[in-house]
Amino acid sequence: MGLFYAYLGILGAALLLLPFLRVEAKGGIAIGASCALAMIGGYFAVLALSGHETGLILAGTQVTGPIPIRIDALSGWFILLINFTILTGGFYGLQYMKAYRDQKANLSLHCMAFLLVQSMLSLLCAVQNSLVFLFAWEIMALSAFLLVIFEHLKSDTIRAGINYLIQSHVSIVALMAGFIWVAYRMGSYDFQAIRDFSASFSHLNSLALFLVFFAGFGLKAGFVPFHTWLPYAHPAAPSHVSGLMSGVLIKIGIYGILRMILLVETDYLVLGFLLLFMGVISGLYGVMLAILQHNLKKLLAYHSIENIGIIGIGIGLGTIGLGLDNAALSTLGFAGAMLHVLNHSLFKSLLFFSAGNVYQATQSLNIEHFGGLIKKMPHTAGLFLVASLAICGLPPFNGFVSEFLIYSGLYLGLGNDSPVMLFGFVASLFGLVLIGGLAIFCFTKAFGAVFLGSPRREFAHVSEVGLGKLIPMYAVVVAMMSIGLFPGFYLELLSAPLAAFEAKMPGVQQAAGIPANIAGLMTDIGLCAAGLIALVGAVFFVRQRAGRRQPVMVGPTWGCGYVGDASRMQYTASSFVRTYRKLFEPLFSIHKKKKPVEGIFPEGGGHETHPYDKTELWLIDKPLKILKDFIGKFQFLQNGNPQFYIFYGVVFIALVILVPMLAEGLSFLLDFLNQL
């Protein structure tokens, strides 16, 4: 209880102090408070993961009733990864925001919103009263909105922020509908009432309840088709906020989905295949659109949708395991999903931090403007490359471990006798392979166009960033490599959350935790990763030794017999993916701008492509157009004539008087008829 009140006290004191501090002190106080909050939250999280759950019942009010605070193993896992990513983002942001020191009031609001997002994310993982949960969700949404619109003088930023805010409230409406349904039926706001609801009513009602919650949590997570806010909000926000949003903010949606799986008793087989299907569609759709993007941060945003899809595949597999009473399948699915939640929070935040370095050095995010930045920003290029390899699921990095677990679950599912289920597993396996291949293709384009080759545009002052930004980025790399080298340790940390899911299977009397064969496999993967790193290091060492005394020759790029500007003969990002774009063009909405090209070395020619999300076109743009057209039919009412407005007032007053009189007269008539 004391630590809980200390947590609230630190948060309250920091929020009160920040507006009155000098600009130089704001960041330090915010980071200090963030560290203190992370330590308190981390203490309870570690206790929960070691088997000592924290339970606390606050008195609440007459409206909310008792407010249970429960930090179990699932809460602990998410609290730990949330606080780690927020701390690295905070230390990176401390340096990133130095470019905005002249905006004193704006920085105060930014620091306050940052602390509120951190505290509300942790609270959402702990509180189990639906009214307080919705209250914390609303504060989180508003605080994240303030973070997104930091550069509010840009019209695109305001548009992205309002888009995010509106869709966040659509998410809140869906969650509210689910909680009201449970409270109406069960008379309680406690999360345990959700379990009682599903136990008291049919599986169909329970499945409908889960889908209502999934709409709310899935919109926050970014599952297709609930993803349309994400590609706008991530690029508009400052880069450390983009890393926070992609790394942990969308993961609170994943937490909510996993929590509902623990609470709702339904037909897990049907639910599992539904989640599996949603995961494959989200993963494929996200990566296919990411390839077409020219804005570096928008490309990374679509990869968040892709990785949410991979997490969804793992959750679907785990849920199918619950339905089949198959402990191994359930463990592989949920372990892969929860480990990928951590992995994605690491390598995606690192990618956004790297993009932030590039943006502040060049004031551009257009991939077509870059080239050759590795020569001036070697650390940033190396860090971006490591994160790119990790997000593609390549060993010895952390993304390989979680995707390996999901692949193992899919292969295990291939042993099922049902043709329908077998088809589902095969299709999902093919989809996951395709997602991985397209991700490699996309990041080959991104890294090559940004960091390799010759500069496509000259920038005035491009140099490597300082240690203040590099240290938190290298801390993320250390965490990533620790997962790749010691996956067994992290899987052991997951044993308590996995046991909670395993306990839901009726055939399991006592949760067994991680199967021995899976634990042994993780040890082998770690050893292989260490061997691969040693081999690559040895090859580079020998190469450096052998080539140390060789003269370095620099010459012009071979122009295939033509004499011209060789820097313009390299692939652009668009030309690199042209074949892919032409192949899948019917699936996307792509707007083109062309200028005629003549001669071998043309002057003034050009070709631009601007992809647009068809989901947004069909689910948002067209319904809004229909609504605007319908409302426009009544535009004649607002004609600017004062006589008409007076007439409207008279009609309104007449209706206010006449309607009650008519109602009373009708009531009198009905009573008279009843007496007859």
Residue 629 burial (CB count, 10 A): 9
What tokens appear for 544 in the block? Answer: 């450096």
- The sign one gets for the Cα dihedral 491, 265, 276, 300 is negative
Please report the DSSP string for 140-206 in residue order.
Answer: HHHHHHHHHTTTTTSHHHHHHHHHHHHHHHHHHHHHHHHHHHHHHHHS--BTHHHHHHHHHS-HHHH
The predicted pLDDT at position 543 comes to 84
What tokens appear for 552 in the block? Answer: 């370095």
Pairs from 6-10 (Cβ < 8 Å, separation ≥ 24): 6/40, 7/37, 7/40, 7/41, 7/119, 10/36, 10/37, 10/40
> 3-class DSSP state for residue 370?
coil
The predicted pLDDT at position 207 comes to 92
The predicted pLDDT at position 217 comes to 97
Q: What is the mean pLDDT of residues 553-560?
A: 70
The predicted pLDDT at position 562 comes to 63
Backbone angles phi, psi at 58, to 5 degrees: -85, 150
Q: For residues 408 and 411, give the distance between their C-alpha atoms in angstroms, rounded to a whole number.
A: 5
Of the spans 272-276, 451-455, 592-596, which averages the highest pLDDT? 272-276
Backbone angles phi, psi at 56, to 5 degrees: -145, 130
What tokens appear for 602 in the block? Answer: 């043309």
Q: How confident is the model at residue 593 (pLDDT cuts 50, 70, 90)?
A: confident
Range in 73-77, 85-89, 95-99 the model is least confident about: 95-99
Looking at every residue in the chain, the average pLDDT score rounds to: 89
Query: Which residues are 129's β-sheet partners?
Result: 190
Q: For residues 318 and 346, give the distance between their C-alpha atoms in angstroms, rounded to a whole number.
A: 23
Of the spans 136-140, 393-397, 579-583, which averages the highest pLDDT? 136-140
Q: How confident is the model at residue 112 (pLDDT cuts 50, 70, 90)?
A: very high
The predicted pLDDT at position 480 comes to 95
Range in 110-119, 251-260, 602-611 the model is least confident about: 602-611
Q: What is the mean pLDDT of residues 98-126?
A: 90
Q: Which of 304, 194, 292 is nearest to 251 (CA)?
A: 304
Residue 510 has pLDDT above 70, yes or no: no
> 3-class DSSP state for residue 66?
strand
Diameter of the chain measured on Cα atoms = 117
What is the Cα 115 distance to its own chain's centre?
19
Which contiguous run of DSSP H or E holds residue 64? none
Residue 560 has pLDDT above 70, yes or no: no
What tokens appear for 378 in the block? Answer: 């070697």
| 93 or 556: which leads in pLDDT | 93
| 572 or 377: which leads in pLDDT | 377
Range in 134-148, 432-446, 635-649 the model is least confident about: 635-649
Enter the DSSP assignment of 373: G
Q: How confident is the model at residue 317 (pLDDT cuts 50, 70, 90)?
A: very high
Q: How confident is the model at residue 126 (pLDDT cuts 50, 70, 90)?
A: very high
Q: 455-489 as b/e, with b when 16 or more CB fall inside 10 Å?
A: ebeeeeebeebeeebbebbbbbbebbbebbbbbbe
Question: What percent of the chain stands above pLDDT 90?
Answer: 59
Q: For residues 340 and 335, give the distance between their C-alpha atoms in angstroms, rounded to a whole number.
A: 8
The predicted pLDDT at position 559 comes to 64
Q: How confident is the model at residue 568 (pLDDT cuts 50, 70, 90)?
A: low
Q: How confident is the model at residue 563 (pLDDT cuts 50, 70, 90)?
A: low
Q: For residues 27 and 18, give the distance between their C-alpha atoms in angstroms, rounded to a whole number.
A: 9
Q: How confident is the model at residue 433 (pLDDT cuts 50, 70, 90)?
A: very high
**pLDDT tens readout for residues 30-49:** 999 999 999 999 999 999 99
> 3-class DSSP state for residue 611?
strand
Burial of 222 (0-12, 13-18, 19+ CB in 10 A): buried
Residue 314 has pLDDT above 60, yes or no: yes
Q: Which of 331, 332, 337 is nearest to 315 (CA)?
A: 337
Q: What is the mean pLDDT of residues 49-77?
A: 90
CA dihedral in degrees (9, 14, 20, 21; nearest 10)? Answer: 140
Q: For residues 642 and 404, give the distance between their C-alpha atoms in angstroms, rounded to a whole number.
A: 71
| 107 or 174: which leads in pLDDT | 174
The predicted pLDDT at position 561 comes to 66
The predicted pLDDT at position 445 comes to 94
Q: How confident is the model at residue 296 (pLDDT cuts 50, 70, 90)?
A: very high
Q: How confident is the model at residue 545 (pLDDT cuts 50, 70, 90)?
A: confident
The predicted pLDDT at position 485 comes to 93
**pLDDT tens readout for residues 619-667:** 888 888 888 888 888 777 777 778 777 888 888 888 888 888 888 888 8
Which contiguous run of DSSP H or E holds residue 417? none
The predicted pLDDT at position 514 comes to 67
Alpha-carbon distance values, 275 to 195, 254, 319 (Å): 20, 12, 8
Which contiguous run of DSSP H or E holds residue 42? helix 23-49
Which contiguous run of DSSP H or E holds residue 57? strand 54-61
Number of H helices, E strands in the chain: 26, 4
**pLDDT tens readout for residues 444-501:** 999 999 999 888 888 888 899 999 999 999 999 999 999 999 998 999 899 899 989 9
Residue 512 has pLDDT above 60, yes or no: no
The predicted pLDDT at position 621 comes to 85
> 3-class DSSP state for residue 217?
helix
What tokens appear for 500 in the block? Answer: 């909670």
Q: How confident is the model at residue 220 (pLDDT cuts 50, 70, 90)?
A: very high
Range in 120-134, 282-296, 593-607 the model is least confident about: 593-607
Length of the chain: 676
Q: For residues 447 and 367, give the distance between their C-alpha atoms in angstroms, rounded to a whole number.
A: 9
| 282 or 640: which leads in pLDDT | 282
Residue 315 has pLDDT above 80, yes or no: yes
